[in-house]
Amino acid sequence: MNSRPYQHIRVEPLSSALGAEISGVDLARGLSDEVFAEVRRAFFENLVVMIRDQDLTEDQQCDFAARFGKLTKSAGLAGTSRVFMVTKKATDRGRNVGGHWHADGTQMERSPLGSALYALEIPPYGGDTMFCNLYMAYESLSPGMKKLADSLILVHSGTMGYGGQGHVAQDVIDKRPEMYDFEAGRIDAEHPLVRIIPQTGRKVLYAPSPMSFYFKDMSVADSAPLIKYFQEIAEKPEFTCRFRWTKGALMLWDNRATYHYALNDYHGWDRTMRRVQIEGERPFGPAKPPTEAVPEVVATVRAADPVVA
What are the tens digits of pLDDT across the range 188-234?
899 999 999 999 999 999 999 888 999 999 999 999 999 999 999 99
What are the tens digits of pLDDT across the range 238-292?
999 999 999 999 999 999 999 999 999 999 999 999 999 999 999 999 999 998 7
- Whole-model pTM: value is 0.89
- What is the distance between the alpha carbons of residues 52 and 206, in angstroms, rounded to a whole number? 29
pLDDT-based confidence at residue 159 (cuts at 50, 70, 90): confident
Which long-range contacts link 85-89 to residues 24+ away (Cβ below 8 Å)? 85/272, 85/273, 85/274, 85/275, 86/117, 86/262, 86/271, 86/272, 86/273, 86/274, 86/275, 87/270, 87/271, 87/272, 87/273, 88/264, 88/266, 88/270, 88/271, 89/270
> Residue 141: CA atoms inside 13 Å, Cβ hemisphere, count?
22
174: helix, coil or strand? helix
pLDDT(15) > 60? yes
Domain boundaries, the chain: 10-292
Q: What is the pLDDT of residue 180?
A: 63
Asked if residue 112 lies in contact with residue 279, where contact means CB atoms within 8 angstroms, the answer is yes
Q: Which CATH architecture has domain 10-292?
A: 4-Layer Sandwich (3.60)
